[in-house]
Amino acid sequence: MNGIKTSLVAAMLFLLINPVVLAADIKLELKEIDWELKNGFSTRVWSYNGSVPGTPIIVTVGERVIIEGINHLPVATNIHWHGLILPNDQDGPSRTIAAGAPFRYDFIVKEAGTYWYHSHYRPVLTQVDMGLYAPFIVKAPGDEKYSGDHTLILDDWYLDSTGKRLPGTARGDMERYGNIETVNGKTADGIPPIIVRPGELHKLRLINASTAAYHTLRLDGHRFRVTHTDGHALSKPYITESVSLVPGERIDAEIAATGEVGQTYRLSNERPELGMTVLFKYEGEAVVPPISSPFVAPSSREFPGIDNKSPDFLLELNSSGKMNEVTKNAMPGVQHQGHDMQPGGEMGDMQWTINGKTFPDTEPLKVQVGEVVKVRFWNKDTRGMHPMDHPIHVHGAKFQVVSQNGQKPEREMWKDTINVPAGQYVDVAFVMEEKGEWMLHCHILDHEDGGMMTLIIARPDK
Ligand SMILES: [Cu+2]
């Protein structure tokens, strides 16, 4: 009895001294497994907790997240919390997890939205292509009112008929593209259908984890109401027939269930023959009245006067025909693990540059914490046979898209990854909230590993 009293007192004292913090404890074990993409068809992958995608981390805004784990992979790695604003020393690229080593991350999630986590250890292409990615969902108040809240994480794989990884690329390009496309690690009839009743309102959280492939999705007979881009709640949600996602991008969209009971509708990208199709099956009684949207649009967050500010930095994106060290090292390192995997196509001959240089020789952007910074990404990569778009991703900040090729966007746009089409320029503006060295790079991972990356160095004083 006394023992119980003592431990109760101890517990109360503990609570008095330590304020109660809602904390999510996540355990992650990185390991190599065989993963079934559909019935009877498997491939060797690297995983977080034995699945691809890895264990989804689902938390609420303001929550403290403690992630502990161990790396059982035969290689070093790290984990990047893509899109989250957090202290620099809690983000992947600033700390390496050696093969066999334990790790711990501890941070507070500041903003609701759809994010993801993935390896950022170079060659990043190898690690993400092997399956090291998973959703990171920060729920907002009201999300529980949706009839269904579905995270769909998109990827592609280049495999032979036995599931063995093929070198190179399935398309006649330099980047690594697959011949099999997946939703949540499953392809074709391996993808479970979404069951829908008329009148329901479903939320889709779309994440493009492909290393190079772009995906444009349509849902037969339905339209998307886009509420978030890259985890940012839109001040003006909009309705569209299709949604496009470049590598690294996320879109949250509502689907109003206006179909008919007994019917099935297909959500597919532009290459349904590769297996990226989710069936929406209508079953059961209609919901009357129809579910209305719980989404509350925030007010505008545009930077005042940003249109007229001239860019603080100009980053010219380009390519040239040389090989860099990361690219050279990527292939032997992977072959050593016995996967016969190589980076995409002829990437080994290419160098992808920012202002004529490849990482780590690129010039960093030196900025002050809290100051508004405007950057122009200018894609000069238009030469010859292979003009390339470059989806540019910034760590540690969300940016306002100020203009695209000199035109103000149709509606307010905040993102952490933006496509910069070949020959065009995009102006963005952001504030770094956390000090440290943050990365800025192309999210076509062949290009990132091939040098198209630099640092944003944020200091309290310049
Ligand atoms: Cu690129």
pLDDT tens for 64-81 read: 999 999 999 999 999 999
Ligand 1: centre distance to CA 71 (Å): 29
Ligand 1: centre distance to CA 357 (Å): 14
CA dist., res. 212 & res. 209, Å (int): 9
Ligand 1: centre distance to CA 134 (Å): 22
Ligand 1: centre distance to CA 353 (Å): 9
pLDDT exceeding 70 applies to what percent of the chain? 88
- Cis-peptide, bond into residue 192, ω within 30° of zero: no
Ligand 1: centre distance to CA 62 (Å): 34
Ligand 1: centre distance to CA 420 (Å): 9
Ligand 1: centre distance to CA 452 (Å): 7
Identify the band that residue 327 occupies on the pLDDT scale cut at 50, 70 and 90: very low
Q: What is the dihedral of CA 151, 156, 157, 163, to 10 degrees?
A: 50
Ligand 1: centre distance to CA 447 (Å): 5
Using DSSP, state whether 63 is helix, strand or coil: coil
Cα–chain-centroid distance for residue 95? 19
The stretch 114-127 carries a mean pLDDT of: 97
Ligand 1: centre distance to CA 66 (Å): 33
Q: What DSSP string describes 80-128?
A: EEET----GGGSGGGS-B-TT-EEEEEEE--S-EEEEEE--PSSHHHHH
Ligand 1: centre distance to CA 236 (Å): 29
**Short-list 228, 220, 231, CA closest to 293:** 228
Is residue 5 scored above 60 in pLDDT? no
Identify the band that residue 299 occupies on the pLDDT scale cut at 50, 70 and 90: very high
Q: What DSSP string describes 116-166?
A: EEE--PSSHHHHHHTT-EEEEEEEPTTGGGSSEEEEEEEEEE-B-TTSPBP
**pLDDT tens-digit profile of 177-186?**
999 999 999 9
Backbone angles phi, psi at 129, to 5 degrees: -65, -30
The stretch 418-427 carries a mean pLDDT of: 97
Is residue 434 scored above 90 in pLDDT? yes
Ligand 1: centre distance to CA 316 (Å): 12
Residue whose tokens read 């292939």: 331
- Is there a common fold for 2-139 and 145-282? yes
Ligand 1: centre distance to CA 365 (Å): 19
| Token representation of residue 200 | 């329901």
Per-residue model confidence (pLDDT) at position 461: 85
Ligand 1: centre distance to CA 390 (Å): 4
Ligand 1: centre distance to CA 65 (Å): 32
Identify the band that residue 343 occupies on the pLDDT scale cut at 50, 70 and 90: very low
Ligand 1: centre distance to CA 140 (Å): 32
pLDDT exceeding 90 applies to what percent of the chain? 83
Prediction pTM value: 0.90
Ligand 1: centre distance to CA 263 (Å): 41
Q: What DSSP string describes 374-430?
A: EEEEEE----TT----EEEEETT--EEEEEETTBPPSS--EESEEEE-TT-EEEEEE
Ligand 1: centre distance to CA 351 (Å): 11
Ligand 1: centre distance to CA 381 (Å): 9
The stretch 252-279 carries a mean pLDDT of: 98
Q: CATH number for the 2-139 domain, one of 3.90.226.10, 2.60.40.420, 3.40.30.10, 3.40.50.1100?
A: 2.60.40.420
The better pLDDT of the pair 456, 174 is held by 456
Is residue 229 scored above 50 in pLDDT? yes
Ligand 1: centre distance to CA 137 (Å): 26
Ligand 1: centre distance to CA 448 (Å): 7
Per-residue model confidence (pLDDT) at position 22: 60
Ligand 1: centre distance to CA 389 (Å): 6
Ligand 1: centre distance to CA 94 (Å): 22
Tell me the chain's radius of gyration from C-alpha atoms: 23
CA dist., res. 219 & res. 265, Å (int): 7
**Short-list 430, 329, 461, 316, CA closest to 383:** 316
Strand partners, 29: 70
CA dist., res. 117 & res. 137, Å (int): 10
145-282 classified as CATH 3.40.50.720: no
Per-residue model confidence (pLDDT) at position 347: 46
Q: What are the boundaries of each domain within the chain?
A: 2-139, 145-282, 306-459
Strand partners, 439: 455
The stretch 399-427 carries a mean pLDDT of: 97
Q: Give the CATH number of domain 306-459.
A: 2.60.40.420
Ligand 1: centre distance to CA 382 (Å): 12
CA dist., res. 267 & res. 277, Å (int): 5
Q: Which of 5-19, 107-121, 237-251, 310-324 has the lowest mean pLDDT?
A: 5-19
Ligand 1: centre distance to CA 6 (Å): 62
Ligand 1: centre distance to CA 454 (Å): 13
Ligand 1: centre distance to CA 41 (Å): 32
Ligand 1: centre distance to CA 148 (Å): 35
**Side-chain half-sphere of 371: how many Cα atoms within 13 Å?**
16
